[in-house]
A and B are shown apart, each in its own frame.
Chain A
Amino acid sequence: MNTIELINIKKQYGKNEAAVYALKDVNLTIERGEIVVILGPSGSGKSTLLHILGALDRVTDGTIKINKEDITNLKEEQLTKIRRDRIGFVFQDYGLLPNLTAAQNIELGAKLSKEPMIIDELIQAVELKGHRDKFPSQMSGGEQQRVSIARALAKKPEVLFCDEPTGSLDEETGKKVLSILQKVNKELGTTLVIVTHNPGIVGIAHRIIKMNSGKIVEVTKNQKVIDASKIRWS
């Protein structure tokens, strides 16, 4: 997945007088290997944008292209295949299955790929050695988020979409999680799209997209990408 291209995207909820635009005339291209951070206040449309980029939601108007192929009107099964083969997700609430161990949760991601990453290596990479057979309820928030990242990476996705990945974490743990994400980008070339309201995170981004009222109001190229451990937590 080299590029994701959004052309004149509109997303509308409700009809007629009750119509609310979550996204209005959004145009955006995400290149392979980029770390893009989408910033904006609550209700600005950043999560809706993430869902549309991640083939989770459909647009009201406009075109979505992946590697120049129009996926706007693909069937649900075809979108599922795109998510299965190319996309990974990390959520604020981790989304782990409570009755599966850390290793099993990661395996849940690995099972989707014909050539998955080795689970034990992933566990080591996200620094969870010793937590392999723990259930989510036996781990801290940071540990759970790292399991969630490992699960997303297990199938070697081309793009990783992270929705407020540090939203439930304290500063130290948040930085640790971001370091891992940065490492994934560097070592595996995985494209990262991170949605957050924490401006501190922008330090690791190659590009920063600011949103407000469903529109992209500013796109900035980050000239000085810094190490995750050195960012200023908001």
Chain B
Amino acid sequence: MLLLKNSFKSLKENKAKTIGIVVLVFLSCFLFSLLSNSISILKQSNDDYFTKQNVYDFTILPDITEEENASNNIEEIYDQKMKKLAKENDFYYELQKTALYDFEKGDNEYIFLLIVPQININKSYLVEGSLPNNDNEVTISDQYAKQNNLKIGDSFDVDGTKFEIVGFAYQPDFVYPVMDEETPEVESSMQSVVFIMDNAINELDVEIKYNYSARFNDNTYNYNRVMKLREDVKGDSQYVNSRNNKINRSRTEYLYEQMKTLSIFSICFLVFLFLIIVFALTVILRKKVEADKSKLGQLKAIGYGNFEIAASYISLAMLSSILGGVFGFTGGYFGAEWIVNILTSSFLQLPINSPGLNPLGLMVSVLVPFMLFSFISFIIALFIIKRPTLELIYENRNEKVSVLSKKVAFLSKNRSFKTQIKFGLLTKSPLRFISVFLIMLAICVMLIVSLIVSGMVQSNVDAKINQVAYAYEVGFDDYEDISDIHTDVYFEPSINMRLYAKEGITANGQILDYDALNNNEDALNDFYVDTLALLPNSRLLKIHDNKTGECVNGKLKGNEIGISAVISQLLGVGVGDSIVFYDNDKTEKTYKVVAVSDDYGQDDIYVALDTIQNDFGYTGKVNIIYTDGKYSDDNLDYVAVAGNEEKSSFRQQAELPIILTSIFALILTLISFIVLLILANIIIDENRKNISFLRILGYTGKEISYMVVDIYTPIIMIAYILALPIALFACGQFTNIMAESVYSSYRVGISPLLFAVGGLCIFLSYKIAIRTTRRNIKGEEWRRNVY
């Protein structure tokens, strides 16, 4: 105990290293806690929300005929059908009545989704106040209220009718609150769900939509059960939709993608960071125990045992894991709440249900580094202490020269004297040289990873935006003859359909393993893609090559197709490979990949329009067109989405990943520089005596820098260059894991300019770190060092 106490006191002697290690553990635990708590908060909030609000298993959308609509008796007609269906299939249901109301005010388009509150299924979540009880009352989204300074009791206008706001609430099937298919951009200051009484909605001049929310009576959701039901009702003018339910949540997919990305981040990088800390700790402790050898020998001589002495070296591990672990975990926990609040305050409408500070997580954050670092410290100390007592006491004052150093001295005989000294110092201990080099490599890898990561999300957004040159994307409800499309605006026809990649095809000589892909809860049989049929000379939708950036539309002819980058990653397929696809009718076609696009977010394949039309029986037909102006057609059912809206939506969806990756890159950069500072400290420590002697002999600071202090400067630049392929490989592996887990990925790359800037940063930081540390060796210390 006395030895341990003394060991704690000795930590003060080298504050820089002690603080450095504590900060490293703090940042690692902070990052881990930040990410894991974000996942936990999001997951728990989402699960609780879906359970408490009793979100549907599926919806049934009635295909209302004109006669039914004219009868003004829709609810009664369909209630009969639903009762029968519910009895046969053991579910209960509730009608959901909604209507979209939109209007323009200045340049802004406001969208309100009017909803009659449900009682049993999809129960609205009340944030404040109450749900409407009278026909002149409404309850609106609290985000809309906040951004428009609306309070309970204020007036709310819908189509000229005044209502009184009585509360603020969320609708659970609108967690990701896209109100209108034509407006993918979420703008909570101009969009809101509006809960309104049944009589009131009927009085308004709006088109009411009916659908039935349903839940199985036995509370057991099963995808196949829903699919069977879908088949059963096909002929009965009804459509079963199972999206947005508790399991298959299209409106929370985004949330889950973020959570999965976070969890991959947290695991991969925690391991990496701990490895770096262990490495730094090993170098520091080894040096310290070596320096204490004589003292340790004396302790052994007076009767202290090896284990007792070695145990006293866990002080740094104890201090760093307790301080770093506790503060890192707690800081990460509060940081997670902050992140989740940003996420939910921007566009997700999810009540946050914080699980509270997790004592188990806290214990893990403290105990794991404590056990790991203490064990490492103990082993290092024991390894040296177990030498014979006399050898420790009378340590050989003459530092042995390594064989490498001797060889280098011989080989560098004809070089300048200062260079000989430099080489001699550098090769003094090969093991130390390798350790220092590996730490430098790790620092450089971290820095390059942080540079890559910082631009990853933006690069995806840029690629998507670069594709869109159209004013509107017009999607038809069905396949239409091109000749039936009448418009004055220029348009380009296309087909968007689902194709399945056939299992067992070979790519790069390997049979595709669908088991790895089929962990999706959709219970997919095969891996599917969406087609994007293109004209060779398209000017409204341009697909760019992942490597060259050139437009590849012209390359797509016959059976030659392009694939998105994420498909390439997922299937391990590249240019020159062939893939067999089949459609819902099991028509099979083999396509050869001639281009890989820069799209890491969509499972798309790009194919010439005439090919897809001819291969799958849609000659002369289209189901989507791209226009360069506003499209309008009274004869066809369609949804038109503005290109600019889509671009805004891409940017909006990238906001959170950009915040997360920026925080991550920042922490990683910070860690790199802290390790660099520790390393500079170690390097100066190693040469403290040499520097002091040279100073006493009369060498100037500049000369000493050249001969001793700067010996590792070229090495760190070599490490930086070598780190590039390692960082690219590591990020590539990481994005591959992402592609398999969340079916979207990121471009991995770094511009030469950014790489050069990173190199300059690391060079200057190293120089500053080493100079600052060297400056601490003052006159008094020279004298101490030579005795």
- B-binding residues in A (CB < 8 A): 51, 56-58, 76-77, 80-81, 83-85, 87, 89, 91-93, 95, 97-101, 104, 107-109, 111-112, 135-137, 144, 151, 155
Answer yes or no: B306 CB below 8 A from chain A CBs: no
Q: With A108-B697, A112-B697 in contact, do A97 and B409 touch (Cβ < 8 Å)?
A: no
Cβ-defined contact, B427 with A93, below 8 A = no
**A83 CA to B699 CA, complexed, in Å:** 9
- A-binding residues in B (CB < 8 A): 396-401, 405-406, 409, 417-418, 420-421, 424-425, 427-428, 690, 693-700, 779-780, 782-783, 786-787
Cβ-defined contact, B786 with A91, below 8 A = yes
Q: Which residue of B lies closest to A85 (CB)?
A: B698
What 3 pairs between A and B have smallest CB-CB spacing?
A84-B698, A98-B399, A137-B398
CB distance from B627 to the nearest CB of A (A): 75
Q: Identify A95's interface contact among B406, B418, B786, CB under 8 A.
A: B786
Q: Identify B398's interface contact among A87, A89, A108, A136, CB under 8 A.
A: A136
Cβ-defined contact, B783 with A109, below 8 A = no
Cβ-defined contact, A89 with B696, below 8 A = yes
Cβ-defined contact, B693 with A97, below 8 A = yes
Residues of A close to B400: CB separation below 8 A: 98, 137
CB distance from B693 to the nearest CB of A (A): 5
Q: Identify A57's interface contact among B420, B699, B783, CB under 8 A.
A: B783
Cβ-defined contact, B699 with A112, below 8 A = yes
11 contacts between A and B (CB under 8 A): A56-B779, A89-B697, A93-B786, A95-B693, A97-B690, A98-B400, A100-B424, A104-B420, A104-B421, A107-B417, A108-B417
Cβ-defined contact, A111 with B417, below 8 A = yes
Q: With A93-B786, A135-B406 in contact, do A99 and B697 touch (Cβ < 8 Å)?
A: no
Q: Identify B421's interface contact among A58, A108, A109, CB under 8 A.
A: A108
Q: Identify B699's interface contact among A84, A137, A144, CB under 8 A.
A: A84
**A155 CA to B696 CA, complexed, in Å:** 14
Cβ-defined contact, B428 with A99, below 8 A = yes
Residues of B close to A76: CB separation below 8 A: 779
Residues of A close to B697: CB separation below 8 A: 83-84, 89, 108-109, 112, 151
Residues of A close to B696: CB separation below 8 A: 56, 83, 89, 95
Residues of A close to B424: CB separation below 8 A: 97, 99-100, 104
Q: Identify B700's interface contact among A80, A95, A99, A108, CB under 8 A.
A: A80
Q: Which residue of A lies closest to B696 (CB)?
A: A89
Excluding A99-B405, A101-B409, 13 further A-B contacts by CB distance (< 8 Å) are A51-B783, A57-B779, A76-B779, A84-B699, A89-B696, A91-B787, A95-B786, A97-B425, A99-B427, A104-B421, A135-B401, A136-B399, A137-B399
Cβ-defined contact, B782 with A56, below 8 A = yes
> What is the total of A-B residue contacts with beta carbons within 8 Å?
87
**A84 CA to B704 CA, complexed, in Å:** 13
Q: With A108-B421, A111-B417 in contact, do A99 and B409 touch (Cβ < 8 Å)?
A: yes
Cβ-defined contact, A56 with B698, below 8 A = no
**A109 CA to B697 CA, complexed, in Å:** 7
Q: Which residue of B lies closest to A144 (CB)?
A: B398
Cβ-defined contact, A99 with B425, below 8 A = yes
CB distance from A113 to the nearest CB of B (A): 9
Q: Which residue of B lies closest to A92 (CB)?
A: B787
Q: Which residue of A lies closest to B687 (CB)?
A: A97
Residues of A close to B401: CB separation below 8 A: 98-99, 135, 137
Q: Which residue of B lies closest to A83 (CB)?
A: B698
CB distance from A111 to the nearest CB of B (A): 6
Q: With A87-B698, A89-B697, A109-B697 in contact, do A100 and B421 touch (Cβ < 8 Å)?
A: yes
Q: Which residue of A lies closest to B428 (CB)?
A: A99
Residues of B close to A107: CB separation below 8 A: 417
**A84 CA to B694 CA, complexed, in Å:** 10
CB distance from B538 to the nearest CB of A (A): 68
**A58 CA to B779 CA, complexed, in Å:** 9
Residues of B close to A104: CB separation below 8 A: 409, 417, 420-421, 424
Q: Which of B695, B696, B699, B787 has the most CB of A within 10 A?
A: B696
**A36 CA to B406 CA, complexed, in Å:** 40
Q: Which of A89, A98, A136, A137 has the most CB of B within 10 A?
A: A98
CB distance from B692 to the nearest CB of A (A): 9
**A56 CA to B782 CA, complexed, in Å:** 9
Residues of A close to B406: CB separation below 8 A: 135
Residues of A close to B428: CB separation below 8 A: 98-99
**A80 CA to B695 CA, complexed, in Å:** 8
Q: Which residue of B lies closest to A134 (CB)?
A: B401
**A76 CA to B405 CA, complexed, in Å:** 33
CB distance from A112 to the nearest CB of B (A): 5
Residues of B close to A93: CB separation below 8 A: 397, 786-787
CB distance from A203 to the nearest CB of B (A): 26
Residues of B close to A58: CB separation below 8 A: 779
**A77 CA to B405 CA, complexed, in Å:** 32
**A155 CA to B699 CA, complexed, in Å:** 12
CB distance from A15 to the nearest CB of B (A): 15
